[in-house]
Amino acid sequence: MNAAAAALTDERVLIDHSPPAVAAHEVARRYGEGDTAVDALRGVSLEVPDRQLTAVMGSSGSGKSTLMHILAGLDQPTSGSVEIAGVEITSLKDNDLTKLRRQHIGFVFQFFNLLPMLTAEENGVLPLTIAGRRPERAWLEQLLDSVGLQDRRKHRPSELSGGQQQRVAIARALVSRPTVLFADEPTGNLDSATSAEILELVRRSVDELGQTTVMVTHDASAATIADRVLFLADGQIAKSLARPSQAQVIDAIQEVPGQ
């Protein structure tokens, strides 16, 4: 483990008695009204443990995306509460949410969402640029090393492969050392070989940097890298597995109702 990561770990030790990175309590989300109302989430409670990778699985319509959007403060629950780093976020004003995002949240998207006019490096440090901060040189170099983009730093997204683009996106999510990183189907737009590389990178960031991560996926192989897998069905947590094998995941998927 290198110095920076060690420092990070030390910091985590200090806040060990503080609340979990993310906690949700009885979160429900209803879309629409009256007869056409759809309940996407029907009371989900969970805690995301620090320095662990939590995967959320479920079929489409299970509510897994809605859950992640609400956990990340992108969407509002109809009822229930969500805390990030001990802060209740469902009632936050837009400006406070913005501050929260800068400090505590990193995002990795299915479609990468890189800015086409910026180079890989510029995309990587964008959250700091937006917050008006300068990246520490050593930290940036380490990050570029670990995502394997040292020789691509001056390339633009259009000159990078899908896998490389997602690496840039991961670097971007890690650069501000967020309390929690949300990954939304990070391998959903990649072939299987590239997917494996990206998953390995996500796992490594948890192990080496202690990065708390929540990953939504419907890919059974993706779930196997998680410390814990939550299975969502019909807007509720149907099952929870710790460090499951791929076979266990596939079994769980078939077991859970609504498939």
Residues that bind other proteins (CB under 8 A): 65, 69, 74-75, 94-95, 98-99, 101-102, 105, 107, 109-111, 113, 115-118, 122, 126-127, 129-132, 172, 176, 184
CB of 117 or CB of 242, closer to other proteins = 117
In terms of CB distance, is 105 or 230 closer to other proteins?
105
Nearer to other proteins, 186 or 244 (CB): 186
Tell me the closest approach of the beta carbon of residue 102 to other proteins, in angstroms.
Answer: 4
Cβ-based nearer residue to other proteins, 23 or 70: 70
Q: In the bound complex, what is the minimum distance in angstroms from residue 206's beta carbon to other proteins? A: 21
Q: In the chain, what is the straight-line distance between the N-terminal and C-terminal CA atoms, in Å?
A: 42
Give the residue with the Cβ less far from other proteins, 101 or 249: 101
What is the nearest approach in angstroms of other proteins to the Cβ of residue 176? 8
Q: How far is the CB of 182 from other proteins (least distance, A)?
A: 9
Q: Least distance to other proteins from the beta carbon of 255, Å?
A: 28
